[in-house]
């Protein structure tokens, strides 16, 4: 009924005259632009800061700021802002003009090093988990030189960390940088067993951003989408994804125009967009970049999500990043492809050429598995949210149990090493496959298949952490993963060195520790169907975390093992972890609270009036039939209408009673003083009521006259016209 009215033509798309490689990073202060705008010594110092983590002195900062200002003003920039990532899962910015008094009654354009390096944003209204009181407003943002500044519109955007007046992290970037430093130091020490010349280890991230598009008019007609990002009610469409015809299908014209526009703007901002395609569900799509250093990749993903929403509106769409905007079809994830590399190569790459390289490969795979095994509950907590909880465990999303898929060959390698005294490691490379079609060239077949139900799968030269949700900040998962791997590598080196000190040669010492670790972390390895009930039981027997309640899963951050890990690596303190959990519980509660209030409003003010109005029309029809038809004929003709009137009455009564119960449950939960217990109450009592009521609303949608149903339906929203 509603859909056709919102059909739009593709918007104008910018058409750069240059090739993408020529306008890539156009609005980014890259090393090439530094070389052009900075004096030689300042440029060399900046390279040292970026590449080696050397501290930046204030004198150099003044020189760099002046060069940045000249470059930015050549692009028409008039303002600057510190761009940071508070614990709201969004980004924040406060714009200041390049203006100062000139002392003569006029103004001059000015941008000093102090403005580049540090600002004092008001911290009182950002989540702090009790670290700061509302009246304690001071906080600091500080420039992160390892992530280049960029220009959006008339503003110079400066990536920064964000900390409290007392020094605690109030953002995602601060602990991420600390976790990356920890894994660099730990992995470098282990890598030198194999390659003494290694200077540093880099954590790499390649995210895959899934998203939905919906016509803006339809979006605006759904208050639940507008205010929560997902449909709180809606009957399934007769056709959605069951034919598998959308996946990798031809991209609709309007969507292709949006994608082209998005890619141009993203490339200009230095985001290396590589892949675009239709995803499984109708109206669902994916964008993926080339791998980058993890800190930069996180910044680029946060920037891209903002860009997607802006560009979508120019094309008459709204971009939905919620993990489950439509019930019954695929949700959207953000697969985090993670790896480690050095200045000499990729540590998780298995060349299969010599025993030393293969031993290096197995070492880093096994120690990653040790990290995931020891902290599987924490890793699950790092990706858990009120929104992602709707996605996990169905429609190709991994289950809420963290395990790792390795594939046949790697499993055989580890089993062989565990069960024999053989110290050689043989790894086969890709094999050839010829089809019985002469014109088709030989295919190179990977040594392992893929497992779509595995939350943490090895996929060649990287691990794919499939559990993060589409609207999440990748930093959350990357902080936990990199810290856990750093801890495992530190422990590995300690034990190997102890054996070497006791007289074992290096190779045998490494093999010995690896054998112990292969046995220890074996419970985390699972190559089967992660959706089966048998796996849930088996995972529990293996000692893996099988909890499904989102608020309780957050407890894993406060396990002594988690606190010990974060504190020993100087990533986060106990106080910071406790504060972040307060924020997680409060955020969970607020999201369910908002959903419940909107759900009640839609039920009482949209659904019931329309349904009762339709019921009245049916009753009038029945009365008219009774007046003109003989009794026996009336009973036959009016039977279906009478049954529907009765069904509507029963379902409306159930909905009204359910909405009252929903309100009562919220009132009870809101009186709980503990943030954790309140979140649990919302999970256990409030959220289930919405699902129960929704069942009856969705049944009524399928019964009531289409013309009187005010909300756009799934069949209208899920197919772009």
Pairwise CA distance, residues 24 & 316, whole Å: 26
Per-residue pLDDT reduced to its tens digit, 550-602: 999 999 999 999 999 999 999 999 999 999 999 999 999 999 999 999 999 99
Per-residue pLDDT, 679: 98
Half-sphere exposure of 704 (CA within 13 A, CB side): 30
What is the average pLDDT score of the chain? 91
CA separation for the pair 206, 335 (Å, rounded): 8
Contact 117, 80 (CB under 8 A): no
Rounded CA-CA distance 305/472 in Å is 10
* Mean pLDDT value of segment 119-142: 79
Nearest residue to 700 (alpha-carbon basis) of 3, 233, 223, 230: 233
- Spell out the long-range contacts of 38-42 with Cβ–Cβ below 8 A and sequence spacing 24 or more: 38/63, 38/64, 38/67, 39/63, 39/67, 42/67
Instruction: Write down the pLDDT at residue 4.
Output: 45
- pLDDT tens for 23-37 read 899 999 999 999 999
Is it the case that residue 608 has pLDDT exceeding 60? yes
What would the pLDDT profile of 156-212 be if each residue is shown by its tens digit? 999 999 999 888 999 999 999 999 999 999 999 999 999 999 999 999 999 999 999
Q: Are 386 and 591 a contacting pair, CB within 8 Å?
A: yes
247, 276, 418, 470 from 250: Cα distances, Å: 9, 11, 48, 23
Question: Which own/partner contact pairs does 6-9 have at CB distance under 8 Å and 24+ positions apart?
Answer: 6/215, 6/216, 6/217, 6/218, 6/316, 6/721, 7/215, 7/721, 8/215, 8/254, 8/315, 8/316, 9/254
pLDDT at 111: 83
Neighbours of 315 (CB within 10 A): 23
Q: Above pLDDT 70, what percent of the chain? A: 94
Least-confidence region, from 25-39, 109-123, 146-160, 479-493: 109-123
Report CA-CA distances (Å) from 138 to 94, 440, 442, 488, 577. Answer: 14, 66, 64, 37, 20
Rounded to whole angstroms, the Cα distance separating 79 from 541 reads: 58
Element (H, E) at 422: none
CA 83 from chain centre, in angstroms, equals 19
Q: Reply yes or no on whether the pLDDT at 44 is more than 80.
A: yes
- Signed CA dihedral, 506, 507, 508, 512: sign only: positive
The answer, yes or no, to whether residue 19 has pLDDT greater than 60, is: yes
- Residue spans of alpha helices (H) in 401-529: 408-419, 474-501, 506-520
Alpha helices in 196-293 (DSSP H): 216-220, 223-228, 253-268
Q: How far apart are CA 335 and CA 627, in angstroms?
A: 64
Percentage of the chain beyond pLDDT 90 is 73
Strands 150-152 and 292-293 turn out to be unpaired
What is the value of pTM for the model shown? Answer: 0.94
- Quick check: 6 pLDDT over 60? no
- The tens digit of pLDDT for each residue in 326-373 reads 999 999 999 999 999 998 778 888 666 688 888 999 999 999 999 999
Specify the DSSP class assigned to residue 94: -
- Number of helices (H), then strands (E), in the chain: 25, 19
Supply the pLDDT for residue 378.
Answer: 98
């Amino acid at each position: 009924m509603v859909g056709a009215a919102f059909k739009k033509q593709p918007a104008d798309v910018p058409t750069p005259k240059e090739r993408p490689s020529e306008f890539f990073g156009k609005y980014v202060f890259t090393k090439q632009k530094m070389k052009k705008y900075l004096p030689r010594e300042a440029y060399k110092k900046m390279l040292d800061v970026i590449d080696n983590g050397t501290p930046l002195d204030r004198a150099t900062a003044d020189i760099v700021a002046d060069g940045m200002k000249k470059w930015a003003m050549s692009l028409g920039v008039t303002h600057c802002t510190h761009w940071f990532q508070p614990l709201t899962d969004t980004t924040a910015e406060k714009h200041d003009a390049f203006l100062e008094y000139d002392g003569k009654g006029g103004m001059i354009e000015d941008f000093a090093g102090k403005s580049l390096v540090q600002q004092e944003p008001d911290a009182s209204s950002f989540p702090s988990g009790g670290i700061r009181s509302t009246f304690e407003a001071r906080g600091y943002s500080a420039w992160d030189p390892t992530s280049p500044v960029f220009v959006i519109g008339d503003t110079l955007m400066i990536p920064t960390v964000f900390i409290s007046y007392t020094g605690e992290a109030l953002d995602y970037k601060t602990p991420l940088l600390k976790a990356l430093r920890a894994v660099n130091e730990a992995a470098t020490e282990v890598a030198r067993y194999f390659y003494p010349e290694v200077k540093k280890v880099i954590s790499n991230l390649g995210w895959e951003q899934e998203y939905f598009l919906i016509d803006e008019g339809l979006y605006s007609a759904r208050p639940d989408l507008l205010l929560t990002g997902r449909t709180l009610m809606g009957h399934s469409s007769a056709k959605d994804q069951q034919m598998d015809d959308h996946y990798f299908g031809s991209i609709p014209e309007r969507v292709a125009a949006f994608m082209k526009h998005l890619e141009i703007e993203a490339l200009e901002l230095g985001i290396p967009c590589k892949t675009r395609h239709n995803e499984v569900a109708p109206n669902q799509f994916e964008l993926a970049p080339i791998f980058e250093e993890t800190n930069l990749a996180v910044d680029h993903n946060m920037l891209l999500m903002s860009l997607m929403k802006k560009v979508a509106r120019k094309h008459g769409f709204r971009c939905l990043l919620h993990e489950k905007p439509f019930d019954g079809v695929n949700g959207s994830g953000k697969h985090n492809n993670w790896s480690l590399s050095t200045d000499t190569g990729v540590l998780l790459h298995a060349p299969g050429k010599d025993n030393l390289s293969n031993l290096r490969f197995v070492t880093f795979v096994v120690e990653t598995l040790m990290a995931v095994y020891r902290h599987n509950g924490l890793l699950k907590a790092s990706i858990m949210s009120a929104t992602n909880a709707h996605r996990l465990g169905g429609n190709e999303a991994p289950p809420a149990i963290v395990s790792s898929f390795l594939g046949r060959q790697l499993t055989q390698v580890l089993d062989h090493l565990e069960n024999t005294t053989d110290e050689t490691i043989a790894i086969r490379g890709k094999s050839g496959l010829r089809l019985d079609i002469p014109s088709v060239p030989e295919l190179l077949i990977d040594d392992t298949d893929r497992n779509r139900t595995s939350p943490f799968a090895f996929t060649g030269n990287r691990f794919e952490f499939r559990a993060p949700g589409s609207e999440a900040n990748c930093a959350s998962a990357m902080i936990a993963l990199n810290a856990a791997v750093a801890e495992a590598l530190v422990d590995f080196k300690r034990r190997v060195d102890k054996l070497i000190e006791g007289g074992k040669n290096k190779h045998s010492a490494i093999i010995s520790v690896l054998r112990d670790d292969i046995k220890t972390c074996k419970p985390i390895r699972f190559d089967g169907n992660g959706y089966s009930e048998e796996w849930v039981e088996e995972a529990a027997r293996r000692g893996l975390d099988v909890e499904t309640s989102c608020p309780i899963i957050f407890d894993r951050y406060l396990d002594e093992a988690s606190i010990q890990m974060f504190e020993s690596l100087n990533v986060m303190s106990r106080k910071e972890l406790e504060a972040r959990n307060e924020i997680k519980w409060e955020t969970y509660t607020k999201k369910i609270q908002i959903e419940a209030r909107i759900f009640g409003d839609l039920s009482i003010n949209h659904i019931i009036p329309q349904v009762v109005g339709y019921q009245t029309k049916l009753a009038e029809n029945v009365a008219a039939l009774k007046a003109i038809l003989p009794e026996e004929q009336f009973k036959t003709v009016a039977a279906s209408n009478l049954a529907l009137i009765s069904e509507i009455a029963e379902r409306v009564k159930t909905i009204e009673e359910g909405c009252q119960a929903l309100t009562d449950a919220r009132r009870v939960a809101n009186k709980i003083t503990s943030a954790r217990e309140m979140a649990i109450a919302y999970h256990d009592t409030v959220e289930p009521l919405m699902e129960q009521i929704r069942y009856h609303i969705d049944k009524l949608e399928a019964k009531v006259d289409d013309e009187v149903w005010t909300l756009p339906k799934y069949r209208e929203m899920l197919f772009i016209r």
